[in-house]
Amino acid sequence: MEACVKEAFGADTALFGSTVPDVGISGPKVAVTTMAVSNSRLCILSNYNGAGDRHGYKHYRASDAEDEILVCDAARATSAAPSYFPAKFIRGLGLVQDGGAGKHNNPIDPAEWESKAIWDGDPDLAVSIGTGFAQDPDSPQTVSGRLRLRDRFFPRLLRLFNAMLNAQSGWEDHLNRVHKDERHKYFRINIAMDREPPLDDVGKIPELENLATTFLQGYDFSSITQALFAASFFFELHRKPVARGTSVCSGSIRCRSPDTRALIERILQEYPAASFTTKDGANLGYIGGCSLCAKCGHYRKVVNFKVYHVDQSVSIHMQFNRLGRHRISGFPQSITQFARLQLLDAAFGRADHQIADYAGTSGCQCQVTKKRKRPVPLITRASKRQCLELTTEEN
């Protein structure tokens, strides 16, 4: 086991730190679930500091640089399934084991807890990728009043333990706690099997590979890709709204992709008529055009829309086709909340020394000439069959 994880992840690569060096932006946040052997408490190992309140579990960060957790050690810890692999010792934390050995075999709950601790808000979307689950039998089982051998104490205890480890049931339990209006942003990819193979049955790997290949060839990823495309864009309010009556709000739709041009070209290949709309269907304009700066590559689309009150909940969507649309990042939200988050009402200026009222200071800083802007040519070749490769692992 030690040799396998070191070969896969390297023997001296630290987990903590940015995964996108020298680009001036924060990289992806990666969290690994483990469980303390001493008290069965959930422990999170991560590549970020993660300041924020946590209750009922521990987010571990090394106090000294020499105690930083290696990627191979984190992989070894989260894979230490009881009775299969020995627990892993982490300095400053003690012995830890597979994080799925308790009630978090599907880590969707810890993922949302960490998201709220880092960003203090709900995620734009959640994608949960399973490792297969056994289908319940379609035929009804015979009901008997007699206590059969399989219904005695130890078999029942074993079934109860297996039910706790059922990641698919964990996902369904989580979804039951999500408001029905928000369930559209939760996605689950999992393969149904007649029977789950034992964890140490390596002879089943070729069969599982074929099953996964067949599943992925027939799976429709369009809803997930649309949600990911839309979540790459966000709204920036230009100025503090007036808190009375109906008003027109002015702002910009921005893009947080490190390669905005490539992203927009990809969207237009798949959805040539993609545009932005409000919740009630008002068109805010085509996604392409002059919004992409030819010099620096920053994206800024100025939009105006009407609200009846500054505390009214509003949403901006990316409309892909007649049936497909998804909210861009940060919505639903009220204009008052946008002003508060952007510190537009800061009486003595912002902490970053920018002025509170928007004057084009954020984003593209290129000089605008008196000549008419020329749209950036976007390559919109005919789309090939879309394929989205997603990789994750449940404990």
Same domain, 253 and 190: no
Same domain, 235 and 361: yes
Q: Looking at the DSSP assignment, which residues form a beta bridge with residue 286?
A: 275
Domain final residue pick, 200, 219, 238: 219
Identify the pLDDT of residue 389. 38
Identify the pLDDT of residue 121. 83
Q: Looking at the DSSP assignment, which residues form a beta bridge with residue 318?
A: 276, 326
Report whether 331 contacts 235 (CB < 8 A): yes
Domain range for 98 is 1-120
Identify the pLDDT of residue 383. 43
197-202 contact pairs (CB < 8 A, 24+): 199/81, 199/84, 200/84
For residue 171, give the 3-state DSSP assignment.
helix
Report whether 190 contacts 211 (CB < 8 A): no
Examine residue 36 and state whether it is found in any structural domain, yes or no.
yes
Domain final residue pick, 188, 219, 250: 219
Same domain, 276 and 351: yes
Examine residue 142 and state whether it is found in any structural domain, yes or no.
no
Identify the pLDDT of residue 388. 37
Q: Give the DSSP H/E element, type plus range, for residue 94.
A: strand 94-98
Averages of pLDDT over each 10 residues, the chain, 395 residues? 83 76 68 93 90 87 86 92 89 89 87 91 92 72 58 64 76 93 94 87 92 93 96 93 77 93 95 95 91 87 91 94 93 91 73 49 51 53 40 53
Q: How many domains does the chain have?
A: 3
Examine residue 143 and state whether it is found in any structural domain, yes or no.
no
Same domain, 54 and 87: yes
For 165, list phi and psi in degrees, rounded to 5.
-90, 0
Report whether 36 contacts 43 (CB < 8 A): yes
In whole angstroms, give the CA distance from residue 373 to residue 295: 11
Same domain, 319 and 304: yes
Examine residue 200 and state whether it is found in any structural domain, yes or no.
yes
Same domain, 245 and 330: yes
Domain final residue pick, 219, 241, 276: 219
Examine residue 169 and state whether it is found in any structural domain, yes or no.
yes
Same domain, 65 and 110: yes
Identify the pLDDT of residue 347. 63
Same domain, 284 and 209: no
Same domain, 349 and 302: yes
Same domain, 237 and 364: yes
Identify the pLDDT of residue 369. 42
Identify the pLDDT of residue 12. 86
Q: Residue 218 — left, alpha, or beta (φ > 0 → left; ψ -120 to 50 → alpha)?
A: alpha
Same domain, 89 and 3: yes
Same domain, 104 and 213: no
